[in-house]
């Protein structure tokens, strides 16, 4: 039975790698895959999905004004679509999520979405994520570790001095040099970890422990 899936994580947890593996598996078995990403995300080029380990694929760049259900429906009417994959779903709109639900319910095509659940301010990333959490039948977390070894559940944005940045715009598309995934206590403390500080040439923080 077709379902609406949401696979979420913090940054650098391998969600795009997992998406591309799923795509490969469907294609290897003769399926027709429609892969979408946000037109806002141009890190690898508009309409290009790329993982940290070097895997990549062309995708359909989805703009806020686009009708996802109409695009898929037009293709499906000519050749049956096996699955719809969506990367960087946090940049989509709430309307796109309802359109994805229509694809599942009316066309009986599974839709698998991948993206961030939280933003750098410790809140749900966008209205699209709120809608996904409400509508998705299948919700799975792709886990990542904080620099302390605990599960990372938050995203820190930091400046060139290694200081946490918790103001400004939610969407500032950047790479590893601007963001780090951490546990909640280290997010509250604004601690990016020794490895990130070393990369910036900053001394490690010394934590005093009472005797």
pLDDT tens digits, one per residue of 24-37: 999 999 999 999 98
- 141-177 in b/e form (b: 16+ CB < 10 A) is ebebebbeeeebbbbbbbeeebebeeeeeeeeeeeee
Residues of each annotated binding site for substrate: 171-174, 179
User: Would you state the pLDDT for residue 210?
Assistant: 39
User: Would you state the pLDDT for residue 95?
Assistant: 96
d(CA 17, CA 22): 9
State pTM to two decimals: 0.85
Residues of each annotated binding site for Zn(2+): 146, 148, 183, 186
In the chain, residues under CATH classification 3.30.60 are: 145-202
d(CA 151, CA 127): 25
Residues of each annotated binding site for ATP: 9-16, 87-90
Spans of the chain below 70 pLDDT = 41-54, 56, 171-177, 202-211
User: Would you state the pLDDT for residue 199?
Assistant: 85
CATH of 145-202, picked from 3.10.100, 3.30.700, 1.10.150, 3.30.60, is 3.30.60
User: Would you state the pLDDT for residue 44?
Assistant: 53
pLDDT tens digits, one per residue of 35-67: 998 877 656 555 566 666 667 677 888 899 999
Q: Identify whether 88 is a catalytic site residue.
A: yes
In the chain, residues under CATH classification 3.40.50.300 are: 4-143
Residues of each annotated binding site: 9-16, 87-90, 146, 148, 171-174, 179, 183, 186
d(CA 84, CA 169): 30
Q: Collapsing DSSP states into helix, strand and coil, what is residue 62?
A: strand
CATH of 4-143, picked from 3.90.1150.10, 3.40.50.300, 2.40.10.10, 3.40.50.10490, is 3.40.50.300
User: Would you state the pLDDT for residue 49?
Assistant: 67
Pairing of strands 4-9, 60-62: unpaired
Say which of 74, 88, 106, 141 is annotated catalytic: 88
């Amino acid at each position: 039975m077709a379902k609406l899936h949401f696979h979420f994580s913090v940054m650098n947890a391998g969600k795009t790698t997992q998406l591309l593996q799923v795509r490969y598996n469907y294609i290897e078995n003769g399926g027709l895959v429609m892969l979408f990403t946000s037109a806002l995300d141009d890190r690898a080029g508009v309409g290009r999905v790329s993982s940290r380990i070097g895997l990549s694929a062309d995708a359909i760049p989805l703009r806020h004004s686009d009708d996802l259900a109409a695009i898929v429906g037009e293709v499906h009417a000519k050749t049956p679509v096996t699955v719809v994959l969506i990367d960087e779903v946090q940049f989509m709109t709430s309307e796109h999520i309802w359109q994805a639900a229509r694809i599942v319910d009316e066309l009986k095509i599974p839709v698998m979405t991948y993206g961030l659940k939280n933003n750098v301010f410790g809140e749900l990333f966008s209205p699209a994520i709120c809608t996904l959490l409400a509508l998705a039948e299948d919700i799975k977390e792709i886990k990542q570790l904080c620099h302390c070894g605990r599960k990372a559940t938050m995203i820190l944005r930091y400046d060139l001095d290694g200081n946490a940045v918790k103001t400004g715009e939610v969407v500032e598309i950047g790479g590893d040099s601007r963001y780090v995934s951490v546990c909640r206590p280290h997010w509250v403390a604004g601690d990016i970890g020794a490895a990130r500080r070393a990369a910036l040439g900053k001394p490690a923080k010394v934590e005093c422990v009472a005797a």
